[in-house]
A and B are shown apart, each in its own frame.
Chain A
Amino acid sequence: MASYIARRLIIMIPTVLIISFISFGIIVLPPGDYLESLVASLEAQGERADQDYIAFLRRSYGLDQPFIVQYWRWFSNMFRGDFGYSFEFRREVSDLIGERMLLTVVISITTILLTTAIAWPIALFSATHKYSFFDYVATFFGFIGVSTPSFLIALVFMFLMGRYFGVSAGGLFSPQYMDAAWSWARVKDLLAHLWVPLFILATGSTAGSIRTIRANMLDELGKPYVITARAKGLTELKVILKYPFRVALNPFFSSVGWMLPGIISGSTILSTVLSLPTAGPLLLRALQTQDMYLAGSFIFLQTILTVIGTLLSDLALAWSDPRVRYGKAGS
């Protein structure tokens, strides 16, 4: 097992290198650069951009250098903790990402926990009471949740709130707490706003989880080992939880790795719609304006989280499913 982990860790290094190179390349790939998008956005607002000034910026941002030079400058500095400079915000990328991370992680992790807490019991109940009234209700809402993009739910929600309650939904803080220092009142204010994005995010992912786990459970429930377990006189709860449920969780464990990068970009569009001060909108903005060091650093972080997440999910799978564990040991 230890050598397996070590091998995986070593393979991660070239993977990360290659992905960082490709992703940086893709960010730079569209025609134009940050300054051209800057000029376009200035002109869209009726402003004129001074070409001399743009030329000055291009030189001072090093955008006149070849791709490889730009990449290397960014990449080599990264190991010294310097993620480069955000053109748009004129600040260190690491500061920008750091500021946004706390709330981003809070939202993502709470969503995952909430999803799990809601989805697992419902899925279990649905599967064991197949075609019951409750199952139909769960299925009905599940399909709505799966098929409606979360940003659309957010828009509808905001419209309803505005139309019928005159309340403006969105954001994580009331205006008076937006730029205040952390305090108990600010935390309370956060909690008062947090349920909206959580509710919307959880709707989509809960529905997905319910459908997957339910389908797996149904596959497993009819298998002979379940009948054997029942025949041995185990309580129904124990039968379900000890055997088929563990198998049904396999897809959950194999996809848990994706949740890590999802922490950053999982809810980008929703966060943009709800104006959440999380990482997603910043990443989106950076990609739109070709603020390449900011975008590149985000993607690099995501890459690392993805490879780590994949490793973790493989380990979790091996831990939860003996078949996987022994299969691996044998190979």
Chain B
Amino acid sequence: MKVNLNRRDFLRATAMAALSVAAASCAQPAAEPAAEPTTAAAQPTTAPAQPTAAPAQPTAAPQATFKEAPALAELVKAGKLPPVDERLPENPFVVTPVDGIGKYGGELTMLIAPASDTKLSRVYGGSRMVSWDITLTQLLPDMCEKFEINEGRDFVFYFRKGLKWSDGTPFTTEDCRYYWEDMANNVEISPNGVPSWLMSGGEAPTVEISDAYTIRFTWPKVNKVFMDNLSGSMGYDFWKPAHYMKQFHVKYADKAALDKAVKDGGHQDWMALHGANDRYYNQDIPDYPTFMPWVPTFKPPQEKYTFVRNPYFYKVDTEGNQLPYLDNLVFITTDVKLIPLKCTTGDADVQQRSLSFSDITLLKDNEKQGNYETRLWSSDWATAMRILPNYCAQDKVMADLFLDKRFRIALSLGIDRAEMNDVAYLGYGVPQQIELLPGVPGYNEAWAQAYAKYDPTEANRLLDEMGLTQRDAEGYRLRPDGKTLDLLIDDAGENPVYVDLIELLTSTYKGIGIKVLYKFSDRTTYRARMSSGEATMGLWGSELGLTYATGGVIASGLFWTEGNNDGNNCWGIWHATKGTDGVEPPASFKKAQELVEQWKLTPEGPESDKIRDEIRAINAEEVYQIGTVGGAPSPIVVKNTMRNIPKEGFALWSRGGYVYWTMPCQWWKE
């Protein structure tokens, strides 16, 4: 439990410190020098991973000239590459290494399952227009030198002058213009108009390019997700390597050559060819220009994917050494279920993907043999498993029962969350509802613990009060129509821990006279059954624990305002279609949906937080979704030879891309 406390304190301290900075200067991108000592001083002992300053300070490096990897220096000597000073932007991004300055060389090996995971090189590589600092609470200018946000709807980015693609071509607003005019607004490439990630409140932005290094996006109303989209794990991009992509674009390419390329590649038309070669996200074409620390050298599928150092990478350490330290990034493919086993034999230098909490024992047991350490990083799970009554169940008796608040409360009180935590999460989790995790700014214990204490007596009383007093031969309650009261719970089959949790649920629900039937399937089947109403209950995770404190796309996860990937659709669709489709939700749910809409249009700040809290209050009061255990950490395997990787931290997809927040470009190998 000690580790746990430390982690919480760490979270609280770092989040608080960063928040004060954010409050002081919402639109001020440059890291305030005053803020960093505060962050570090707050937790010098409990957070060994905490660097003495924020990871990035967009100030010029102390050296006049920069240093580079030996291999690159030789290429420069041979005249095959321009000198390092010319390769770096005028004002490179300065990374403060986590533990200290590193040495060049070595390979970083990770394991992946499907070939499509080559995109992890991009997820882990960082290189977003803006990125999160090491506390994951403050946005930093990354590829840009600075940015401005006005009224939450007007965004200006100032690029780093001299920032270059991995092939040496300068990055300018021409790359953005190409994306915006020739792709997003090209009717052949985007027949449905501007891509949806750029749409806000149904409207496209006005894009204004004032010079080669400045671009402005303006929406008529507040856009709360734009910066999250740019900085998230997927790291949306509003630029493409124009000089490269033009060879596939009908507007620029030579007609004959284009036709030939379409035919040779087996494509239907030039748009398909263009799309197949637009691999900024996937990182699996050797010549494709990128900004990542390592660039691909292969054609998929392979057993081993090698990415080599990008000579034009725009980040340096505090002593002016061009990053990354490591020569190569290597992904080795294996079956997804064998990844934990392969970690135990030391096959991965660093591994987070495809390891889950249930692997911790195996990983810990073999640390010595594999010469690695298993670190536990905080997860973002407000609740690892939320129980979703299907309000649109075809079984009308059940749907009606779910609408009775007493029934929902009884279902929540009938869960022994503490036992779930002990059995499935070795006590590392937090038994609570779908709420912020303790220590996160805005945490409210009353909401987090609303109806969250195991109380079978009260649950039984509520069920009796509802008139569900008849019992069958086995002692289960009978429904109003005389059948046994059973919950058919569907599972998308993606989280192995659910099986254990449901087993515990089955026994505690038996104590309140409710029978649990468990159906294990896959995501597609699960979703189809949920939205058609064949399933009466569903299970889904909830990644709200940290991120929705500071915004993001998450508020709609509690009260659906559209079709949702957890499969519980009818109320959201009713809202999205303004009542023409779906099923009308109860009044309190409708109120929450309105609040979500309002929240989306309110810029981040106290006003927005107030609306968010109203939504949370409704959630706590009505228990439309039932939380179980949140905050369980996620294992990350780190070889003992690896340096500059924080001991504690976060393993989140939604923000920070599992490891990208630690800046793998400054990792190095002893």
* Partner-B contacts on A (CB < 8 A): 31-32, 36-37, 40-41, 43-48, 50-53, 55-57, 59-62, 82, 84-85, 88-92, 96, 158-159, 162, 166-168, 170-173, 175, 178-179, 272-273, 275, 277, 282, 285
Contact = CB atoms under 8 A, between A and B. Distances in A.
A171 B116 CA distance: 19
Contact of A162 (B116, B333, B344): B344
16 contacts: A31-B524, A46-B653, A47-B234, A52-B192, A55-B192, A82-B266, A89-B115, A91-B300, A168-B341, A168-B345, A168-B346, A170-B342, A179-B298, A273-B338, A275-B333, A282-B301
A248 B355 CA distance: 51
Nearest to A47: B234
A62 B272 CA distance: 10
B267 A60 contact: yes
Contacts of A41: 114, 116
A56 B190 contact: yes
A59 B267 CA distance: 11
- From DSSP, what is the main secondary structure of chain B's interface residues? loop
Contact of A90 (B268, B276, B334, B543): B276
A52 B190 contact: yes
A179 B306 contact: yes
Contacts of A88: 115-116
B547 to A, nearest CB: 12
Contacts of A172: 303
A272 B116 CA distance: 16
Contact of A84 (B195, B266, B301, B347): B266
B653 A60 contact: no
Contacts of A50: 195-197
Interface in B600-650: none
Given A61-B268, A89-B300, A275-B333, A175 B109 contact: yes
Nearest to B298: A179
B167 interface: no
Interface string B323-360: 00000001011110010011011110000000000000
Contacts of B246: none
Contact of B332 (A46, A85, A178): A178
- Of B303, B342, B344, B524, most buried by chain A (CB within 10 Å of CB) is B303
B116 to A, nearest CB: 7
Interface string B113-132: 01110000000000000000
Q: List 7 A-B pairs, minimum CB-CB distance, nearest first.
A: A60-B272, A178-B304, A46-B653, A168-B345, A85-B266, A52-B192, A275-B334
Contacts of A96: 301
Contact of B195 (A43, A52, A159): A52
B565 interface: yes
A173 B335 CA distance: 16
B275 interface: yes
Contact of B338 (A48, A170, A277): A170
B108 to A, nearest CB: 12
B654 interface: yes
Contacts of B334: 170-171, 275
Nearest to B285: A90
B494 interface: yes
A84 B182 CA distance: 28
Contacts of A46: 233, 543, 653-654
A44 B338 contact: no
Contacts of B276: 90
B271 interface: yes
A35 B189 CA distance: 17
Contacts of A61: 268, 272
A51 B196 CA distance: 8
B194 to A, nearest CB: 9
- Of A43, A158, A168, most buried by chain B (CB within 10 Å of CB) is A168
A158 B275 contact: no
B229 to A, nearest CB: 9
